[in-house]
């Protein structure tokens, strides 16, 4: 009876963690990770005291996952923003503990895998209902595309595809399989994820050709899919689904955009092979980009990990997935699912969702569990680690929750490492003096935020210190070279200041303003030279042309100066 209770507890903890990570925005936000980290740490320490032993698995996965997790903390020493690096550590801390817990119930892991299709179908069902109500559809859809609990259509589509493959390989009756597959297929279609559509079709086609056991069912799904697509294209050629199908192309703006992200990211990786820390790429993105885009993640997990924690951990992590794919003893189903995850992760940021990481860990190959008896020193270490980890997770989690809810000032007050909250607080502050104080605080640990320099520039301008205004505004422009409005504000401010100088007979100062205004086309010309060819082929093309009013401002200031001479 005691063993049975032990098994049930060991099963229920990872089951609850997995379900929680999936339904709470896919575990994307740090507050969800904080809850999972607290549960993982507490349960691990509980097991140590309960069993008076430490259970662990000494295998390749454990080593890689430990390196992966700890590097988010280590990079804080050289990160672009050390505070956000700590937030990143808390975000990914649950991963190593979930794997450790899963290793304890390796034989029962199939139970967790078995509930995935049920979870997927239920999310699709409730999402479809919620999308019918204007007040609710924003929680489960993005631009008309079903995003489910993940709130991001592409990763949600990948999750549904994994559920579909699990259902296909399951031992359920044909009737149950049909219900699962139909519901999940509808969900995949409603996500509008073209990449997952292609991967789904390709996977089912390969299974139909190569796997005798699932050949008939896979063939049926493929044939039904082809017929359905043909009907839609013929009779509903202008529908949303048909338009998404027709836009599948290697020359599409979305695909080219991802190539541009990757191209720019590679330069950063080569300059910073040991990583930039969590959110480091986001802070440096604008100053290194060669086109117009604004993304938090680079839409390629191999590159994203290299940007966050360095090249070596990124390669080890991808190697961990591929190793499980090619192990001889690996199940065919697991090979297929891990291959799908590996492929899709090269086109999106799936592993930023803890729920997706948890799902991936279910299909890895587990090593043999080992135990050793603990000493009083081990107990003390476990308690100290638990207190520190839970406290850190609690602080970061509450700060992030307040940030997500829009309480930026409280978010930063609670967690001083939350730079994003401080930036939003600065941007929403109505009093210039308070904004300047916040900007100076941000600059002490992060010198890659354009808004801080813009704020300081405004302060110098209001004080009549045009020389310092020019210095700081040019820094802001350098950090966001494609923000044309920044150039326009800069020129307009110089024109206004120059006019005042002329009225006060300060010709030299007015001439400085005029000369700086004339430099703007040269700055834009340099930006244009550095712009990638791809940037002109995507939807958001660079705007590097000053308005016609610019020439008129120059001309009027020159005439006014000539009159003074």
Residues 6+ apart with CB under 8 A from 84: 277, 278, 279, 280, 417, 418, 419, 420
Supply the pLDDT for residue 196: 92
Question: Between the CA of residue 75 and those of 82, 87, 88, 203, 280, what are the distances in Å?
Answer: 8, 12, 10, 38, 10
- Kindly report, residue by residue over 435-451, the tens digit of the pLDDT: 999 999 999 999 999 99
Q: Given a cut of 70, is residue 300 above it in pLDDT?
A: yes
Residue 140 has a pLDDT of 93
Q: What is the pTM assigned to this prediction?
A: 0.92
| SS3 label, residue 371 | strand
Residues in the chain: 565
Cα–Cα dist 88/279, whole Å: 8
502 touches 456 (CB < 8 A): no
What would the DSSP string read from start to end of 351-405? GGSHHHHHHHHHTSPP--EEEEE--HHHHHHHHHHHHHHHHHHHHHHHHHHHHHT
Nearest to 278 by CA among 82, 32, 34: 82
pLDDT of residue 534 exceeding 60, the answer is yes
Weakest-pLDDT range from 124-128, 197-201, 206-210? 206-210
Q: Which contiguous run of DSSP H or E holds residue 145?
A: strand 145-146
The band of 25, judged by pLDDT with boundaries at 50, 70 and 90, is very high
pLDDT digits (tens, 9 = 90+) for 235-268: 555 666 667 777 777 778 888 999 999 999 999 9
Mean pLDDT value of segment 483-503: 92
The pLDDT score that the predictor gives to residue 251 is 79
Please state, in angstroms and rounded to a whole number, the distance separating the CA atoms of residues 446 and 82: 8
Q: How confident is the model at residue 1 (pLDDT cuts 50, 70, 90)?
A: very low
Instruction: Tell me the pairing of strands 53-57 and 369-373.
Output: antiparallel
User: Residue 39: pLDDT above 60?
Assistant: yes
Name the one residue in this structure whose structure tokens are 């950063």: 268
**pLDDT tens across 537-557, in order?**
998 899 999 888 888 888 888
Q: Is the pLDDT of residue 4 over 80?
A: no
The CA distance from 463 to 202, in Å, is: 64
Alpha helices in 405-536 (DSSP H): 408-414, 419-428, 432-443, 450-462, 466-479, 484-503, 507-530
> How far apart are the C-alpha atoms of 120 and 113, rounded to whole Å?
12
CATH number of 428-564: 1.25.40
Give the integer Cα–Cα distance in Å for 102 and 104. 5
Span(s) in the chain for CATH 1.25.40: 428-564
Which is nearest to 292 in space by CA: 332, 256, 320, 343?
A: 256
| Mean pLDDT along residues 192-205 | 89
In this structure, what token pair is assigned to residue 337? 């699912």
Q: Is the pLDDT score of 126 beyond 80?
A: yes
From CA 162, how far away is CA 79, in angstroms rounded? 35
Residue 206 pLDDT: 83
Share the mean pLDDT of the chain: 89
């Amino acid at each position: 009876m005691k063993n049975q209770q032990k098994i049930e507890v060991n099963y229920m903890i990872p089951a609850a963690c997995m379900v929680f990570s999936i339904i709470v925005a896919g575990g994307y936000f740090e507050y969800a990770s904080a809850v999972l980290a607290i549960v993982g740490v507490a349960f691990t320490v509980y097991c140590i005291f309960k069993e008076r032993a430490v259970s662990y698995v000494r295998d390749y996965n454990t080593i890689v996952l430990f390196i992966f997790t700890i590097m988010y903390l280590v990079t804080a020493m050289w990160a672009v923003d050390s505070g956000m690096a700590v937030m990143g550590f808390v975000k990914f801390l649950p991963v190593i503990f979930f794997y450790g817990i899963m290793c304890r119930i390796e034989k029962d892991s199939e139970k967790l895998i078995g509930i995935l299709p049920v979870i997927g179908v239920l999310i699709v069902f409730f999402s479809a209902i919620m999308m019918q109500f204007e007040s609710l559809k924003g929680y489960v859809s993005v631009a008309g595309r079903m995003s489910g609990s993940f709130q991001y259509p592409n990763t949600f589509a990948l999750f549904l595809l994994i559920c579909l493959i699990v259902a296909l390989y399951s031992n359920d009756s044909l009737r149950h399989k049909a219900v699962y597959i139909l519901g999940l297929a509808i969900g995949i279609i409603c996500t509008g994820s073209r990449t997952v559509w292609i991967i789904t079709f390709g996977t089912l086609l390969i299974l139909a050709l190569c796997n005798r056991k699932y050949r008939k069912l896979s063939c049926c799904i493929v044939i039904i899919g082809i017929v359905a697509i043909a009907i839609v294209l013929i009779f509903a050629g202008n529908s949303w689904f048909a338009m998404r199908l027709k836009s599948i192309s290697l020359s599409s703006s979305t695909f080219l955009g991802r190539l541009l992200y990757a191209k720019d990211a590679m330069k950063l990786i080569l300059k910073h092979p040991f990583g930039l820390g969590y959110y480091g790429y986001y802070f440096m993105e604008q100053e290194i980009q060669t086109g117009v885009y604004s993304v938090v993640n680079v839409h390629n997990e191999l590159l994203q990990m290299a940007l966050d924690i360095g090249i070596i951990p990124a390669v080890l992590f991808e190697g961990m997935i591929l190793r499980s794919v090619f192990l001889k003893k690996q199940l065919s189903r697991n090979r297929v699912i891990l291959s799908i995850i590996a492929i899709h992760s090269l086109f999106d940021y799936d592993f930023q969702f803890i729920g997706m990481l948890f799902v991936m860990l279910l299909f890895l190959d587990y090593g043999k569990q080992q135990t050793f008896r603990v000493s009083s020193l081990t107990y003390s270490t476990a308690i100290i680690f638990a207190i520190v980890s839970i406290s850190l997770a609690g602080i970061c989690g509450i700060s992030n929750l307040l940030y997500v809810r829009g309480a930026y000032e409280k978010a930063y007050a609670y967690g001083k490492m939350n730079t994003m909250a401080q930036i939003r607080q600065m941007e929403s502050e109505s009093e210039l003096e308070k904004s300047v104080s916040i900007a100076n605080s941000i600059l002490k640990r992060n010198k890659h935020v354009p808004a801080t320099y813009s704020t300081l520039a405004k302060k110098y301008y209001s004080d009549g210190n045009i020389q310092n205004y020019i210095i700081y505004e040019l820094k802001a422009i350098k950090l966001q070279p494609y923000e044309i409005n920044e150039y326009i504000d800069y020129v307009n401010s110089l024109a206004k200041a120059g006019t005042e100088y002329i009225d006060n007979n300060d010709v030299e100062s007015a001439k400085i303003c005029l000369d700086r205004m004339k430099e703007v086309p040269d700055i834009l010309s340099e930006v244009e030279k550095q712009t990638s060819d791809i940037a002109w082929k995507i939807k958001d093309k660079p705007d590097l042309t000053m308005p016609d009013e610019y020439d008129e401002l120059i001309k009027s200031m020159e005439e006014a100066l000539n009159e003074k001479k």
